[in-house]
Structures are given as structure tokens and as C-alpha cells.
Amino acid sequence: MPRSAPVWDEKHLRLGVTAAGIALWSWHVDTDRLTMDEIGYDLWTVPKGAPINFEDLSAHIHPADRDRVRVAFHATRGIVGPYEIDFRILVEDDVRWISARGRGDDEGIKARVMYGVFLDVTGRKQAEEANELLAGEMSHRVKNLMAVAGALTSMTSRSAKTKEDMARDLTHRLAALGRAHDLVRPVPGQDNDAALLGDLLSLLLVPYDDLGAFSGRIRVSVPRMRIGEEAATALALVIHELATNSVKYGALSAAEGLLNVSCSIQDEDAVIVWTERGGPPVKPPADTSGFGGRLLDRVVNRQLRGSIDYQWQPEGLVAKVRVASDRLSP
């Protein structure tokens, strides 16, 4: 005998809605009163069962989204068919993304009441932002690598006496650049060999030196300090970005340019000082909102819990990267 179709009563529907994390709401179009289920009140962190209207909820909406949501909410009655709007709300110190969905043009309205749902889409939004950031970083890295490869070719041609010497030296520099890039984006499952801060900095900077990290125009002077894998990857990204900018615009773009990288312990912080001299005249960039600058701020502030300060001196850039010592330790 054929099986009978399942019966979807209110209890079963409620179990499904709860399992999906869907918050139900209703809006009386004449009184402007909103009613939500328990999930909705928890989502918005408002007292359960309290009479609320849109303006009550709008106090929880992120200020940058509030006007947009207010206009969209009151325009729903003029929208034909389904509508959806995503916006941010503030829950104490956290930011959540909410998706409000319903049907406009009074479709399905009963007793002057419209219905819809709220969904917490924070996870999806964070994944989208992470993907956008990764795509932007990849594009930024590819452009920088092309520029650096060209600069290394020019640098090598100045010192090579024969084409064989140039091919050998350029291959060495590009291989060193590849090893440095591996520190920026390590291969999963492989151990990071940069156990000492000095070794890490030297490995990252050797592609740009003419005679070696300690005997050429790049000097590294840091105390003996071990560094954990997570901090090494983040710091490698910072040094790689500074070196890329230097070889494009700063001291490393000139044959006589010099770079000194030092580190000292001040209170409970490790302060890495990047000092360029002998390059072209330096002046502050007109636009500091580029991807490279935002990338550095994000890595230093969020991953290393530190800060970076730029001093655009005429004779060369001085950048100070301050990181809590315990963030560097393994």
C-alpha cells in the first residue's frame, strides 16, 4: 500500500522553523506594531513580549544601515512580490547581519497584518567578506610580484658581467623570493622553519640584497628571539609588503639605497624599526586607502594586536611596527 503523505501541522512547522533558526514577525500596517516569536526577540535582544514598532528595533540597527533599512521597510507595501534586505545590527560589542524577508504589495495580508521572517546571516556575510578579501589580496600579490620581478631583473643587470651571471643571479633572487612568499602564504601541513626572528627577516629580505643579508646594503639587527608560526606568517606579510613598496618606490629602488631593520624590547613590546636611506626623495602618499595599506593595518592591528607608525622623512621612510612580545612567542 502506498505510504500516506506526512501531515504538516503547526507543531511540526514550528520545529522546522526553530531548527532553521528562522525568526517570525508580523506587522500591523495601521498601528505600526511589530510582534515576533521567541527567536526574534532573542535575535534583536529586546524584552520578550514587549510592544515594539520599527523605531524601537531601529535603535539596534547599525547607524550606517539605519536610514536605508527605514526607507526599505516602509516601502515594502509598494513592492510587488517577495522582497529581501540585508543589514547589520549591533548586539553589545558584536555586529550581526540580518536578512529580512517577506512579500510586498499587501500580498497575503490578513486583518491588516503583514508577515515575514528574520534570518541571522552573519556566517554567510563573514564568508563573503573573507572571500572578497582573499580575492583582493591575491590580485594585490600578483601585481606586486610582477613589479618586484621586474625590479629584481633591473637590479641584477646592474651587477652582472655576463648574461650567464645575470641568469644565475636572477634565478637565485627569484628562488629566494619564492621562499619568502611561502612564509606569507605557507603550504598547509608544512612546518614553518622561521624559528628565530632574525632568520625570518633575513630570509624575507635576501632577494633584494646585492651581497647578502648582513654584508650588503640591507642590515638586520635584532635580539635573539623565537617566534611562533602564526606570528611569523603575519609578520612575514608585513615585511613583504614593506619590501615590495621599497623596491617599487623607496630605497631599494635605487642602487645606492640602504635598508636597516632593527628590533628592541620596550616595556612588554617588541618594536621593529624599518629605516630606509639613500633612495629617491620621500613624501607621504596622497592616498593611504589602497589595498596594501589596509592590508598592513589589518594584519598588524587584528592579527598581531599591535600598531604601525610611518615617518615620511625626506631622506627615507621610517616605519615602526610595535607588537606585544607575547604575540610573537611560540
The DSSP string of 85-118 is: EEEEEEETTEEEEEEEEEEETTTT-BTTEEEEEE
Q: Is 256 exposed, middle or buried (0-12, 13-18, 19+ CB in 10 A)?
A: exposed
Long-range CB pairs of 294-298, under 8 A, 24+ apart, other chains included: 295/137, 295/140, 295/237, 295/241, 296/238, 296/241, 296/242
Question: What angle is formed at CA 245 by the lines to CA 241 and CA 251, rounded to 5 degrees?
Answer: 125
The SS3 assignment for 153 reads helix
pTM for this model (two decimals): 0.51
Provide the grid cell at 174: 627569484
Superfamily of domain 12-120: PAS domain (3.30.450.20)
Any bridge partners for residue 313, and if so which?
316
Please tell me the predicted confidence (pLDDT) of residue 1.
Answer: 45
Q: CA nearest 117: which of 187, 185, 48, 18?
A: 18
Handedness of CA 298, 304, 307, 310 (dihedral sign): negative
The SS3 assignment for 262 reads strand
Q: What are φ and ψ of residue 176, in 5° steps?
A: -65, -35
Q: Is 239 exposed, middle or buried (0-12, 13-18, 19+ CB in 10 A)?
A: buried
> Which sequence spans correspond to the domains of the chain?
12-120, 125-328
Q: What are φ and ψ of residue 289, in 5° steps?
A: -100, 15
The span from the CA of 11 to the CA of 212, in Å, is 73
Do residues 10 and 21 touch, judged by C-beta distance below 8 A? no
Provide the grid cell at 201: 627577516
The SS3 assignment for 41 reads helix
| Strand extents, DSSP E, 16-174 | 22-28, 33-36, 52-53, 81-91, 94-104, 113-120
Please tell me the predicted confidence (pLDDT) of residue 277.
Answer: 93
Do residues 270 and 321 touch, judged by C-beta distance below 8 A? no
Please tell me the predicted confidence (pLDDT) of residue 273.
Answer: 95
Please tell me the predicted confidence (pLDDT) of residue 317.
Answer: 93
Q: From first to last of its 330 residues, what are the pLDDT tens digits of the chain?
A: 455 555 566 666 666 666 666 888 777 777 878 888 888 888 888 888 777 887 888 888 898 888 888 887 777 666 666 778 888 988 877 888 988 887 765 555 666 777 788 888 888 888 887 777 767 766 766 666 666 666 667 666 765 678 776 777 667 666 666 665 666 555 455 554 446 888 888 888 877 776 444 457 888 888 888 887 778 777 877 887 788 788 888 898 887 889 999 999 888 888 999 999 998 888 787 766 665 677 677 778 877 888 999 998 888 999 999 998 888 876
Provide the grid cell at 108: 497575503
- Residue length of the chain: 330
The span from the CA of 16 to the CA of 288, in Å, is 49
Q: What is the CATH number of domain 125-328?
A: 3.30.565.10
Any bridge partners for residue 157, and if so which?
none
